[in-house]
Structure 1
Amino acid sequence: MNFRHSERRRSFPSTDPASLMSFCAVSGGRSSRCASVSGLLRAEIIYPGMFTSNDARLLTILADLAGAAAENARLYQWTQELSITDGLTRLYLRRFFNQRLEEEINRFLEFKAPFTFCILDLDHFKRINDKMGHLGGDQVLMQLADLLRGEARVTDILCRFGGEEFALLLPYTPSQSGLIMAERIRQHVAQRVFQVLKDEINITISVGVAGCPEHAQTAEGIIAAADKALYLAKRDGRNRVVLSGEEA
């Protein structure tokens, strides 16, 4: 707490406090081995020797309350993140992604802003699980998620859509531009060497792409269009990108 710039503080000619006390804002309890410093509480008086032991006790209590409040805010943010992110890949969960998709639909209806939606499926994932076990499969999913995160722009929304499926929402992006981005991602995945347990493996993905408004103008419709395009990509050999409405 700093009153240096308050009107009351500026009414005095001196700007250097004669008495100063600072207390660490501690979360977790001062006597706890898990205690941590989350901030600093500072008090000033222009007259020397004006702080009493009661002032010190009061400021210690205030500092502890501030530390507890900061810790509660941190925990709240953490629980909020847990509620919308997948524990394995650290990507958004599908229910949060669906909310964002609805927001993009509403943005289009109001402002005519196009967007592209992609479903990405890891090819032959069952073979990876059968050969390397679920631990190996999890490592592949985590590394693939990291690669996708690196490919996405700041405004893009990534999620784990289910199992080995991922979804990518590209706001303000026409479908042809989204198709180019999806193809670039597919190529980068195919070129990447994945470190799984003690082995090095290569994987591929199939991608279905759909755009709003040309392929659908509802959340259900855009998902169905991209899902059908993904089916065509997998039917015709996998490791490819198909735009909705195109015969692969």
Structure 2
Amino acid sequence: MRFFSNIRRIIGTWAAYHQKTTLLILTVFALYSYFHFGLEVGSWMLTAWRIFAIALLLLLLFSPLEPKDTYLVETKETPQPEIADKPENEKDVDIIRELSEEYYLKTKRDTVKDYKLFLSKILSIVKRTFAAHSAVIYLRDQGTSLLRQMCIVSDEEHVMEDKQYMQDEYIFKEIFERNSSFLSNEAEEIKSLLPYYPESVNILSLLAAPVYINDEISGVLIVDGLEYNTFSGDDIHFIETYGGIIAETIVNYNNLLEFENSTRLFSFFYEVSRGLNSNLKFEEILDLLLSVMQNIIHYDRLTISAYETGSDQAKIIRIVGQVDDFPEGTVFPLDEGLTGWIIRKRKPILIYDLEKDDHFIPRYTSKEKINYNLRSFLGAPISYHDICFGAVTVENYKPDSYQEHHKKLLVMLANNFGVALERSHALQELEQHATTDGLTKLHNYRMFMQRIYEEIERAVRYNSNFTLLMLDIDHFKRVNDQYGHLAGDKILTQIAASIKNNTRNVDFACRYGGEEFAVILVETGLEKALLTAERIRKNIEHLDSNFKGNTIHVTVSIGAVEFPNSSKDVESLILEADKALYRAKSEGRNRIVAYKEKSETII
């Protein structure tokens, strides 16, 4: 049975490559069958010849005479060379090598789709070569013990597709323990080894080989048959050769995929870098980071934590996904959890499966509840040179979700955002120097002029109002002359703090110049504004400024004007506030004067 199967297979393969020759042989045999060509009619030689011719004709007719292009991928530019004078199995090996080279050199492709289609073509040739009932390839996920069915070619109508198994079960256990090929012609043994058939299928022969990549078993190639001894020990060499070719294909595919991913990521990072170089503010950088992370790394929870400079703790400032007991704003120490370690050491962490550890590893603090729902953990510091701004971490419900290439990607991304944050911080400092008074830390005159134009525009657009206060320290020159400029500076900072403490966050306070201050009370009418002004005046009046054993008391005069009034522009509004302030000075100081059209009201 085995002998005739091999003869039929050899003749069929030869006929597929030499169709014209085969046709000629068939014709000659037909002629010899009907014409005796000198042989004596009725002789035993003629009878034997005809029996031989009929037998050979039947073998040729029922052999799988298929055209070459059913399993050869030909291109118009590069015709397939004829392969001759080789055993049948070696011919198929050469065919697959050519397919592999062509696949790798193609430039226009759907990578994943073409990869699976190519594996299907290889398995079709493997199945035909071994006269198998099915041919299957399983590949192991990188860094795991999980094998995933990549492709199956079978004559069986009902097979289990797209399944995955552990390497310590079924036929995979035999391959990984032996670290070599496996052959069996025992029906009962085979039945317990094959995972892809229903129980009704009776497989009588099995041959499997490991697929090695970088000297490690990365997959298993399997063929099976419905007849006893479909495979023999001689077939082991050939299936291992096919396994090697599949390994080459996988490596080529991974290289191609890595190249495509690198190209895509380079383009992506270029766009991100352009965005990061756009002088973004801190919150805008965080928003961009979240947007980027959604596109390149799958996660069930993402956390961004910020290091509190000069302390031993950090704070969660953004969280997406499962919150648990650690919402945004949670402060945690740097010496307990994984995130603190990332910030403290300024190094990334990759944990394939948190559940595999003997004890629970906290994310933030040793007091947090045990949570094994999130299995995979990956984190990287957001840093620039020796400065660490915080950390970004991602977690996934599935174990082994993140690998080394994910870690490299996250580190690259975090470094980019570290540069952006440093740039933002530097720009913020420059802006602060340009808009803040160095002594009092209030806004400066430049910022005041910008803000008052904005408030007038807003009041006109929304039909609202605001009140402007102008303050001047009474007899401030005497303080500088009697106690020195350092004493004067101390008083200026105290008055600035008093103004800040007695106004709202939405209000605007600035050092207008010298010993003068200005306050914009947003969406506040004159009546309420005068109450605020009085609170400021009284607070300053009761300030005790101690300087070198001396207690210094000062007072302020305040002019107030509401917008809208008769003023239509910034210059006239400031002039009216100055008029009210001058009136307060001339009327005895330490008082408030509210400007009204054609009159000033003294309080």
Shorter chain as denominator, the TM-score bin is: 0.7 to 0.9
**Partners of 1:49 and 1:151 in 2: CA distance:** 54
Match of 2:379 in 1: 22
Task: Decide which of 30, 34, 38 is 2:390's aligned counterpart.
Answer: 38
Q: Secondary structure of the equivalent of 2:600? A: coil
Q: Percent identity?
A: 35
Task: Decide which of 491, 513, 529 is 1:140's aligned counterpart.
Answer: 491
Match of 1:4 in 2: 299
Residue identity opposite 2:378 in structure 1: M
- In the superposition, relative to structure 1, how do residues 246 and 40 fare at CA in structure 2: closer, same or farther (>3 Å)? same
**Partners of 1:177 and 1:43 in 2: CA distance:** 52
**Partners of 1:222 and 1:186 in 2: CA distance:** 22
How far apart are residue 77 of structure 1 and its match?
2.4
Task: Decide which of 79, 85, 92 is 2:430's aligned counterpart.
Answer: 79
Q: Secondary structure of the equivalent of 2:423? A: helix
- Whether the aligned pair in 2 keeps the contact of 1:23 and 1:42 (CA below 8 Å) is no
**Partners of 1:50 and 1:227 in 2: CA distance:** 66
- Whether the aligned pair in 1 keeps the contact of 2:467 and 2:522 (CA below 8 Å) is yes
Give the aligned CA root-mean-square deviation in angstroms: 2.6
Tell me the alpha carbon deviations over residues 8-55 of structure 1, each in whole angstroms, 9 at most, x when there is no partner.
xxxxxx9644x543222222x2xx4xx334323547695649734x66
TM-score (norm 1): 0.83
**Partners of 2:413 and 2:458 in 1: CA distance:** 45
How far apart are residue 74 of structure 1 and its match?
2.2
Residue identity opposite 2:511 in structure 1: R
Match of 1:10 in 2: none
- In the superposition, relative to structure 1, how do residues 149 and 247 fare at CA in structure 2: closer, same or farther (>3 Å)? closer
**Partners of 1:77 and 1:49 in 2: CA distance:** 38
- Structure 2 residue runs of 5 or longer lacking an equivalent are 1-292, 302-371
- In the superposition, relative to structure 1, how do residues 99 and 229 fare at CA in structure 2: closer, same or farther (>3 Å)? same
- In the superposition, relative to structure 1, how do residues 230 and 48 fare at CA in structure 2: closer, same or farther (>3 Å)? closer
How far apart are residue 223 of structure 1 and its match?
0.5
- Deviates further, 138-147 or 41-50: 41-50
Residue identity opposite 2:390 in structure 1: S
Task: Decide which of 155, 163, 166 is 2:514's aligned counterpart.
Answer: 163
- Whether the aligned pair in 2 keeps the contact of 1:140 and 1:196 (CA below 8 Å) is no
Match of 1:233 in 2: 584
- Deviates further, 226-235 or 109-118: 109-118
How far apart are residue 82 of structure 1 and its match?
2.2
Superposition pairs for residues 53-68 of structure 1, below 5 Å?
56-68=407-419
TM-score (norm 2): 0.36
Residue identity opposite 2:437 in structure 1: D
Q: Secondary structure of the equivalent of 1:91? A: coil
Q: Secondary structure of the equivalent of 1:239? A: coil
How far apart are residue 199 of structure 1 and its match?
2.7
**Partners of 1:38 and 1:71 in 2: CA distance:** 12
- Whether the aligned pair in 1 keeps the contact of 2:467 and 2:562 (CA below 8 Å) is yes
Query: Is 2:597 the counterpart of 1:246?
Result: no
- Structure 1 residue runs of 5 or longer lacking an equivalent are 7-13
How far apart are residue 57 of structure 1 and its match?
4.8
How far apart are residue 123 of structure 1 and its match?
0.7
- In the superposition, relative to structure 1, how do residues 42 and 124 fare at CA in structure 2: closer, same or farther (>3 Å)? same
Task: Decide which of 171, 177, 187 is 2:528's aligned counterpart.
Answer: 177
- Whether the aligned pair in 1 keeps the contact of 2:473 and 2:554 (CA below 8 Å) is yes
**Partners of 1:59 and 1:102 in 2: CA distance:** 45
Q: Secondary structure of the equivalent of 1:246? A: strand
How far apart are residue 196 of structure 1 and its match?
3.2
Superposition pairs for residues 73-112 of structure 1, below 5 Å?
73-112=424-463
Residue identity opposite 2:449 in structure 1: N
Higher RCO (CA-CA < 8 Å; seq separation 6+): 1
How far apart are residue 225 of structure 1 and its match?
0.5
- Whether the aligned pair in 2 keeps the contact of 1:25 and 1:41 (CA below 8 Å) is no
- In the superposition, relative to structure 1, how do residues 16 and 190 fare at CA in structure 2: closer, same or farther (>3 Å)? closer
- Whether the aligned pair in 2 keeps the contact of 1:41 and 1:63 (CA below 8 Å) is no
Q: Secondary structure of the equivalent of 1:147? A: helix
- In the superposition, relative to structure 1, how do residues 147 and 247 fare at CA in structure 2: closer, same or farther (>3 Å)? closer
Q: How many residues align?
A: 234
Match of 1:9 in 2: none
- Whether the aligned pair in 1 keeps the contact of 2:560 and 2:593 (CA below 8 Å) is yes
- Deviates further, 174-183 or 128-137: 174-183
Tell me the alpha carbon deviations over residues 195-219 of structure 1, each in whole angstroms, 9 at most, x when there is no partner.
3344322110001111122352321
